[in-house]
Amino acid sequence: MNLMGQNLYKTQVIKIKIMRNFKIFFGSLFLMLFMVSCDIEGINNDTPDLSSISADNLNKVIDISKDNTGRVKITPIGEGVAKFLVEFGHGTGVAASAVVLPGSSITHVYPEGTYTVSITTYDMAGNQTKKTYPFTITYVAPTDVVLNSNLAAYTLNLGAKAKYAAGGFLVYFGDVANEVGTKVQGTLNSATGEYSFADLSHTYAKGGDYTIKVVALSGGAAFTTSTTTITIFDPYTLPITYETPGQNYTIGGTFGGVNVGVVNNPFPGGINTSTKVWQYTKTVGAASWSGTWTPMSSPNSVPINIDNGGKIKVMVYSTEVGKKVNVELEQATTGISNQVLKAATTVANQWEELTFDFGALGTIPAGTEFKQLVFRYNDSADGVGEVIYIDNVRQTN
C-alpha cells in the first residue's frame, strides 16, 4: 500500500471511532433522559405523597364540632390516592368504617370519650399505608339556662332553654320526696344554638311554695343546674279572710286611683280580732267611680254561685259614718246585668258587719254564677284620702 493509501485508511478508521463514540454518548444521554422521565411519571404520580399526613395535620384531618353533638368530620388527605378506608374507632359492623374517595369527607357521631381513627391509604397500584389519629371528645357544660313558667290554678306549664344542652334536660317539680327527674329532649334552634322545650305540664295536689330544678345536660359528664321557686295558690274563693295559706290576695287589681293591700289588723277588737285585714285607700283625687276588681272564674278562682246564699256579708272598719261601701257581682253566667248593692257605715272607729242581700233583689235566676267581685267606697265623690279596712267577706243565706 502506497503512502496515499495508508493515509486514506487512517482517516476512515478515525471517522469510524468518532461515530462509535457519538453513538455511545447519545445512547447514554437517551438512557439518562428515560430514567429521569420514569422517575417523574412513575414515582411521584403513582405513589401517594404521604409527607403531608403528619401529626401536625391532625386538625386538617379531624374536625370536632364545638356544639356538644359529638359530630366529627374526617377528611383524609394525600396525593395520588385511589381511595381511603376510614375506621372510626367506634361502632360495630358496617357502621364502624367507611370508604372515602379523594377530596371527600365523612362525618361520624361520637359519645364523650377518647378514640383513635385509622385511615388506610390505597395508591393506584394497590399499595397501602395506614396512619392513626387519636383524639378526645369532651362536651362542655351548658350555658345561658333560662326557665319560664305559666300557672293556671294547680297546673304548671314549664319551658326552658340553654346553649350546648345537646343531652336534653332533667326536670324536677319539687313536690315528691326522692323525685326522679323527668327527661325532656330539647329542640335545637340552629340560628341561636339553643336547645329548648316548652309547655311541660305538671299538676300539683295543693297550694304552696315549690322549688323547680332544671338540669341542662351536655350529653356527656358536664351539666348545669338552674332552680326557681314558684308559689301555687289554691283557687281564690269565699270566704275571704286575708290570712288563709295558699290564697293569692293580690289577685285582680284596682282602677281609678285606689290602693289596696293586706296589712296587720291595726284595730283588733270587738267583732274582729283577726291578725290580717285588707286596707283600702281612696287616695286624694281618686275618681268617684274608683274601686277594685277580683276575678272569680275558673281555674284560678271559684265563681260565686247564688245558690250558695243570696247574701254577702263584709266586716268594715271606718273612721266616718254614712259613707257607702259597694259590693258588686259581675259577669253573670246567665247573662243578666251586673248586680250592685250599697250599704252605709253606721259606726265610726270600730268594726261592724255590713250585709248585702242580693237575694232580695229578685232579679238573679237560680244557678247564676258571677265571675267577678267589685268593691267601691263612697262612689258619689272623688277621693280625699279615706282609708277603710275590710275583712271576712262571706256568703250566707
The class of domain 50-137 in CATH terms is: mainly beta
Parse the chain into domains and list their residue ranges.
Answer: 50-137, 143-232, 253-396
pLDDT on residue 59: 83
Which ranges in the chain belong to alpha helices (H)?
3-38, 45-46, 58-61
List, for residues 36-53, the tens digit of each pLDDT value: 333 333 333 333 333 344
d(CA 273, CA 253) in angstroms, rounded, equals: 26
Question: From the CB of residue 81, how many other CB atoms can be counted at a distance below 10 Å?
Answer: 21
Question: From the CB of residue 113, how many other CB atoms can be counted at a distance below 10 Å?
Answer: 12
Predicted TM-score of the model (pTM): 0.72
Residue by residue, what is the 3-state secondary structure of 59-120? HHHEEECCCCCCEEEECCCCECEEEEEEECCCCCHHHHEEEECCCCCEEEECCCEEEEEEEE
Cβ partners under 8 Å of residue 255, min gap 6: 290, 291, 292, 293
pLDDT on residue 259: 98
Q: What is the DSSP string of 298-316?
A: TTTB--EEGGG-SEEEEEE
Counting as low any pLDDT under 70, the low residues of the chain are 1-57
Out of 3.30.750, 2.60.40, 1.10.3720, 3.30.70, the CATH code matching 143-232 is 2.60.40
d(CA 67, CA 220) in angstroms, rounded, equals: 12
Backbone angles phi, psi at 19, to 5 degrees: -65, -40
Residue 359 is which amino acid? G
d(CA 121, CA 61) in angstroms, rounded, equals: 13
Cβ partners under 8 Å of residue 230, min gap 6: 149, 151, 156, 209, 210, 212
Question: From the CB of residue 83, how many other CB atoms can be counted at a distance below 10 Å?
Answer: 15
Is-contact 259 283, C-beta < 8 A? yes
Number of H helices, E strands in the chain: 3, 26
Angle made by CA atoms 380, 343, 241, in degrees to the nearest 5? 115
d(CA 127, CA 183) in angstroms, rounded, equals: 51
pLDDT on residue 24: 42
The class of domain 253-396 in CATH terms is: mainly beta
pLDDT on residue 51: 38
Assess whether the region 50-137 and the region 253-396 belong to the same CATH fold.
no
pLDDT on residue 58: 79
